[in-house]
Amino acid sequence: MEVSLIAHTPEPDIMAAAAALLTHENSDFDSLKRRNAEQLKKILRAVIDMGHESVVEHASFTFAISGVSRALTHQLVRHRIASYSQQSQRYIEQDMHYVIPPSIKRQFARRYREIMEEVWQLYDELKQHVPIEDARYVLPNATCSRILVTMNARSLLNFFELRCCLHAQWEIRMLAWKMLKLVREVAPTIFEKAGPPCKTKHTCPMDKKDCRWYPKKSD
């Protein structure tokens, strides 16, 4: 899995903080942005803590993601407030690149690889006789894909809350933590409390008491 942050709103923390100030002050936006940076970040923290997250929608982030399975991208696109551009299996011939889940790798790696080789042999054969768009029907969810994703910060906060959780599927959880690490480098204030609720709010919405991250009373 490779994840890169290839574009983002300039100074996302400052942008969001200035947007928050704009709602309460009769000042132009440029002068608000020129306020003391630490004061702006302090205001942004307070606004986010109060639950007024609409201001962070003005900050957006674009990720280039590769080496992930179609099983992952099917989950990813369920996050509706985002923009996606995915590599097409209709127009691009697929090389034999696939993801092996850790649970399968531990016990069934050899058989799994044998099946994948059979699938791609059939795929290569079909391509000689039918359109690629039809040959792709034999490809498994494990097939690797590339996807470009753009989300605003509010959507990302929701994404991290759901997908950084231990009960999220392993591959999309790995992706979520990699994305969180990248955005924290450029927008540390917006994302300083991002992540699963057990870590950020000391609560578990699913009440999964058997989870090793389940909040303890001492927390």
Residues annotated as part of the active site: 163
Choose among 115, 69, 112: nearest CA to 94.
Answer: 69
Helices (H) and strands (E) in the chain, counts: 11, 4
CA distances from 45 to 13, 39, 137, 201 (A): 10, 10, 48, 15
